[in-house]
Amino acid sequence: MENLKKYMLACILLMLIMVSCHKWDEYKDFLPEGGKIYPGIDTAIIYQEGNGRALLGWKASPDQRIAGYAVYWNNEMDSLVLDATSHNPKDTVKALIQNLSEGFYTFTIHSFDLQGNRSVPVEKNNLRVYGAIYQKSLLNRDVKEVRYNADNKKITINFNPADEGNVYTQLSYITLNNNTTRVNVPADQEGIVINDRKMGTKIYYQSFYKPTPVAIDLFSTVMKDSITITD
């Protein structure tokens, strides 16, 4: 009876070893040729939104075998290939992707060597690209009050608090020398004083926005508004 138990235990151990070997053979099929594993892309991908474009950035790989990087989107139907010009991790690889429609994207990034071996992919999901739809939603900053001093011809224009994303509001007008000038009122500035406007002319203003603080493009409102001064 004791020998039977030992025999059964030995059979079970043999089966476990065979299963383990089989699993290892399956796993090896997923390794690169020769068992080489290439380092992945830095997972701290930087993303900056733009107007019909996007900027991706990551730290350069220190692996000297890496020849370049490939970025894919639209289910890998579109791609951008970059040469690895540096292997210093202090340097940043930047991929500017242009001609994008407004919407949300998933970008997949690989490094590759001269033999075509690719690294494990890094994905960045749900990244937005902005365009005309976003621009149409923007409003010029509201004017709170306009004061005109007929004696010295000074015009004081004060604004209400700026909307989120507003960077500045640009005023344009004709000066006493018949030149068109432009001046920007930052979002955190309440107002401005103008003392060189040509009498009888309007002051136009238009606000500029960034959808996020790190966006690479400014968006203006579609239309300018105007201020009429009764001289």
| Domain spans in the chain, listed from the N-terminal domain onward | 1-30, 33-129, 135-227
Q: Would the pLDDT of 24 be above 60?
A: no
Across the range 38-52, mean pLDDT stands at 82
Question: What is the structure's pLDDT at 31?
Answer: 40
Question: What is the structure's pLDDT at 38?
Answer: 55
Question: What is the structure's pLDDT at 40?
Answer: 61
Q: Which CATH architecture fits 33-129?
A: Sandwich (2.60)
Specify the CATH class of 135-227 in words: mainly beta
pLDDT in tens, 99-120: 999 999 999 999 998 888 888 8
Q: Would the pLDDT of 85 be above 90?
A: yes
Question: What is the structure's pLDDT at 117?
Answer: 86
Question: What is the structure's pLDDT at 54?
Answer: 97
pTM of the model: 0.79
Q: CA 97 to CA 50: how far, in whole Å?
A: 10
Q: Would the pLDDT of 32 be above 50?
A: no
Instruction: Answer whether 33-129 and 135-227 agree in fold.
Output: yes
Across the range 70-93, mean pLDDT stands at 94
Average pLDDT, the chain: 86
**What count of other Cβ atoms lies within 10 Å of the Cβ of residue 132?**
12
Long-range contacts made by residues 39-46, C-beta under 8 angstroms, separation at least 24?
39/63, 39/66, 39/111, 39/119, 40/111, 40/119, 40/120, 40/122, 41/69, 41/109, 41/110, 41/111, 41/119, 41/121, 41/122, 42/89, 42/122, 43/122, 45/107, 45/109, 45/122, 45/124, 46/92
